Structure formats: structure tokens, C-alpha cells
Amino acid sequence: MEIGGSSESQNETKKGKSKTPRKPKESLLKQKSPAEFFAENKNIAGFDNPGKSLYTTVRELVENSLDSAESISELPVVEITIEEIGKSKFNSMIGLVDRERVDAQLYDDYETAKAREKRLAKEARAQEVQAKNAALGKKVKEQSTMKGMKGRGEASFYRVTCKDNGKGMPHDDIPNMFGRVLSGTKYGLKQTRGKFGLGAKMALIWSKMSTGLPIEISSSMKAQSYISFCRLDIDIHRNIPHIHLHEKRNNDDWWHGAEIQVVIEGNWTTYRSKILHYMRQMAVITPYAQFLFRFISDAPDKNVTIKFARRTDVMPPVPLETKHHPSSVDLLLIKRLIAETSKQNLLQFLQHEFVNIGKSLAERLIGEMGPEFSPKMVVKSLTDQQIVRINQLFRQAKFDDPTGDCLSPAGEYNLRLGIIKELHPDMVATYSGSAQVFEGHPFIVEAGVSVGGKDVKQGLNIFRFANRIPLLFEQGADVVTRTALKRINWGSYKINQTQDKIGVFVSVVSTKIPFKGTGKEYIGDDINEIATAVKSAIQQCCIQLKSKIIKKMLAREQQERKRNLSRYIPDATNAVYDVLKHMSQSHASKKKRYSGEEAEILGNITANLITKETIKEKLAEHVEKVDYEMALEYATQTGVTEEPREDIFIQTLDPENKFIEFQSPIFVFRLVC
């Protein structure tokens, strides 16, 4: 009994032990580098999928090139090349030998005999339908290739190369500029094209994730006798560059600029239209730049070469770095400014670290802060509570709005010229608003509206720009789209919203663009200041167009009246001649006598000096005279001639030429000395 009892108790002990929960492992504190964070959340920077990654890489490289050239006031020349790399070529680049499949069933694209028979039957039925449609004269669609035949692991690779004539980079700075995330030259409070400050770094991260190949950079600065060449990749976990080769090469041609080459996984087929659309819109907003785009494939019929020629040498001014407006700062920013300032006391700090705070206003603010504050107190001795007090006062006090002097909009002239160059519209109107403010940040809205044009669809065609870069995604939620669709009564401006080919161009520039969403692809519709400015700018363009449209309508009506009168000349001639003939017969038979001028006319009728042809010519002359008088009055009132015009573009001047320049929103006049 005792033995049995002991075995029973042992079983219970075993059962009890099996039910005891396992102790969880102690969680260790881990850190991620910025590079590692963006690698894991690449969709934030626009690298959602291979196709979008190819588009974003092109966009980042082009925008870096434009910024580089504009920073030295050089007219940008940008060459972008996308070269398709086949699987065998890619394998040879990384030193991998192609291998025949041994176990075919192991692969994702394996097709059983039954599945193949089913697919072939489906293709045969599709061919029969196409043949019938062709026989009936219907439009035949091209048969798409079977999507299921490509395996998940069979990727497409592309070598993206971007070359410019910009500033170039210092030799020693190149590794950190490309191999260290969140390091760069564009940080600061000013208008910039970049959205995250990542630039080509994210393309390098994507290259490392998808191909493992390094990036290659060639760069030279002005009057530099050598070209810096660097081949590197990035240590994702440590966020530092891994340099393969960094050397100086001869610069016999005295070239300056940068050439960046990176090999990435991509998808040209699905994002071809987006990339070309981006290049076209970039040519609209930067008509002073010259772009050469090339796509090179193993199949010659797929090759693409497009040149977007320069049409002006008038460049917008370089954006200036500005100081913070008191209403736009927070506690963290105030603490950072205090730590970085070179000023000693509070009065100097307020005057020199913020815009729109003069000496008198700074003294009034310090007096309002309380007795523990004084103008001469050491700014770095401020306590956390005192900094909170400063922040609270900044939020409640009234300050003058910041000016837009630090901003660099495209300008009406460039916007108009870009629209005319790329779309060739029948009519175009542009408008540039004055600087306005949102949360302490100045912004300027420019707009253009065109009617008609080449390669423009019927209805509204909306083109959005933020800090002079095109926004192509998430258009439906954007403030420009919603304003154009819902808040503009196009009919009141004599524009047919559904039938006319309407181009709506809106560019917003600011020291801080209030993007929505993680991708930063659209400006929200919930910001009243920007929504009002966008609506006003579009309306100003529409008012200009309405005037032009009414003038054209009046001219068309005038031509229609002339055609109608000319059409009735033969009938009027016969009627007038018959009446005069009858009157001349009555005059000759003395049934009714006429005198003076009437008798003379009737006598000419009897003597055949006035015939039907004579009356017809006189009526035609009268119609022409009336039409000329009305046209003269129309031109006098409007100051516009309806003669055909030719587009005139300003050609690039020799740098040695000296000239005096006068600019207006629609033309530039130069007096060459």
C-alpha cells in the first residue's frame, strides 16, 4: 500500500510539474540605428515596393542634382539613365554562376501537366474570341502575358545613373554624406526640396537590401584639378559608411558636378508612366533646367530617350535660411536654441535668434515674463520653469507675420513658360500670391490654369507642386484637388469642366510644408489658410481666362455675323435690283416721277450702268467696312490684336555678355551692353 501510494504521489508530482508555467526570458534593452529604422520602415521614405523604389530613387537623385546646381546659380543640366540588367548579367556582376534547375517542382513557377493543359485551353479560347472580334471589325486587345508564370524570386534589376553640373562635394565629406543616415547639408529652417533629408542614402539602403551592391560616386568642385571617386555601402546596424574605394582621379576636362550610380531592384513596367510623368512635370516647374532621360533595355524597341530642353535662363533666387518665428517654436526647440546660441544675455538671445523681435519688443516681453527675468540675465542659466514661461508667452503674445523674403517660388514667368513649353495650350493664365503665414511659417501659393493643349485629357488635369517638386501620389485627398473639384464654379468663368481640356497647376513653397501621411505625398485639406490661398490663386487665374474667353467669343460672334451677312448678299442683291428695276420702269413711263439722287440712280439702272454685279460688290464692300470698323473698335477697347502669334523663347546668353534685366510676370526684357 505504501509503495502504491508513493508511486501515485510521484505521478501527481510529475503532473504538477508539467503544469507549472515557464518563466519568460528577461527582455533586453535594444537600440536601433537610424539606418536600421529606415531599412525596416522603408515605406515611410517612399520605398514601398520595387516599382515605387525605382521611382523614388530617380526622384531623389534628380532633386539633389537641381539643388546642387542652383546653390551655385548654375543653369542645371541633369542626365538620368535607367539601364535594365538581366538575371545573367546581374549574377556575373556579383560573381554568381548561373545554375540549371535540378528539382523543378521545388520552384514557385512550376506548372503541372494538368495546369499547363488548362492554361493552353484558356489561351486558345482567348485567341478564338480575338479572331471573331477582328473579323467583325471590333478593336482587338493585345493578349497579356500570363502573370502566374513569373516566380516570386525572379526580380528585375536596374542601374540608375544621375549626372549633373552642380556644386560637387568635398572629397573627405563624401562617405558621410552617403553612408550616414540623417547627416547632410540641408538641415535648417529654409525652403528645401527634400522631404526627409535622406536623399541618395535611402537608395543606398535599398540597394544593400535588394542587390547587396555598393553605390559609386564621382564628384568634382569648381576649379578642382581632380575628381573624387568613392565606392561604398552602409553598415546598417552601426549607421556608418563602409568604404570599398576612395581615391582622387585626374580631371582633365575641368568638369564640376556629381555622378551617382546605384544598382537596385525595381519594376520599370508598372512605374514607367509615373517616372515619365514626373520628368514632364519637373520640366514644367523648372523650365530653366535641361533634362536628358534615357531607358536602356536589351530589347531595342523598349528603349526610351527624351530630352526636355531649356527654354529660359531666368532662375529663381536661392532660398535663404531664416530664423524661427516665436509662434512656431516649442519647448524642445527653445532649449536647443539656448544651448547653441552665442549670445550671452536674454535680451540679445531674443533679438538675434527669432524673427520680428526688435529691441523694444524684447524688453516688453522680458518685462511681461515676471520679476525673476531681466534683460541682462545669462540666457544659459534659465531653468526649465523659466523656459516654459517663455514658451507660454510666445504662444499668447502677438507678433508680426514673417515675410516671404526667405522663400524662392518658381515665379509667374517660369510657371507660364513651363506650361506653354510642355502643354502648348490655347490659353494660359498665371498668378502668384503674396506671402501668407501658417503656424508661424511663411508660404506662397502660385497657380496656373490652361485651356486646351497637347496630350491633355478632357476635364480637370491637376498638377501639384510642393517646394518646386511634383506630387504624383494620393491626389484625391490633396487641398488642390478638392479645391479645384468642389470649390471652383468653372461655369461662371465660361469654362466647361467636363468638356474643355483644363490644366490646373498649383505650387506651394514654404519653410515647412504641412504634408499629411507618412509618405508626405499630399497637403491636407484641413488647413484653412492654405485652402483659402489656393482657392484665391485659382480664381485669379480663372478671372484672367474669362476675359480672354469672352474676347474670343465676341470675335467668333463677329465672324459669324460677317458670314451670315455674306451668305444673304446674293438674295439681297436680287431683291434690291428687282425693286430698283420696277421703280425705273415706273419712272420711265411717267407713272411716278422721281427727282434728284433717286432719279439719277434709276437712270443708271435703265442705262445698265448699275447691274446686279454692281449692287453685289457694293453690299460686299459694306459688310467688309462694317466688319473692319467693329474690329477696330474691338482692338481699341481691348488693346489686343487677334493676329497669329509665335512662341518666343529666350536663348541662353554667353556668360561673358553683360546686360540689364527688367522682369515682369509674363516677360523678361534684357538690354545687352
Q: Is 253 annotated as a binding residue?
A: no
Q: Is 64 annotated as a binding residue?
A: yes
- Using N-to-C axis directions, what is the helix angle for 50-70 and 200-210, rounded to 10°? 150
**Is 233 strand, coil or helix?**
strand
Q: Is 511 annotated as a binding residue?
A: no
Q: Is 494 annotated as a binding residue?
A: no
The owner of cell 447691274 is 611
Q: Is 200 annotated as a binding residue?
A: yes
Q: Is 393 annotated as a binding residue?
A: no
Q: Is 330 annotated as a binding residue?
A: no
**Is 181 strand, coil or helix?**
coil
Q: What does the block give as the cell for 594?
A: 422721281
Contact 601, 610 (CB under 8 A): yes
β-bridge partners, 663: 668
Q: What is the CA radius of gyration of the chain?
A: 37
Q: Is 354 annotated as a binding residue?
A: no
Give CA–CA dist 54/49, Å, rounded: 9
The owner of cell 469642366 is 497
β pairing state of 77-85 and 290-296: parallel
Helical spans, DSSP H, in 290-404: 331-340, 346-353, 359-369, 384-396
Q: Up-side HSE of residue 129: CA atoms within 13 Å toward CB? A: 10
Q: Is 153 annotated as a binding residue?
A: no
- Count other C-beta atoms under 10 Å from residue 574's C-beta: 13
β pairing state of 441-451 and 436-438: antiparallel
Contact 184, 200 (CB under 8 A): no
Q: Is 135 annotated as a binding residue?
A: no
Q: Is 476 annotated as a binding residue?
A: no
Helical spans, DSSP H, in 500-568: 528-567
Give CA–CA dist 268/316, Å, rounded: 33
Binding-site residues: 64, 164, 185-186, 194-201, 520
Binding-site residues for ATP: 64, 164, 185-186, 194-201, 520
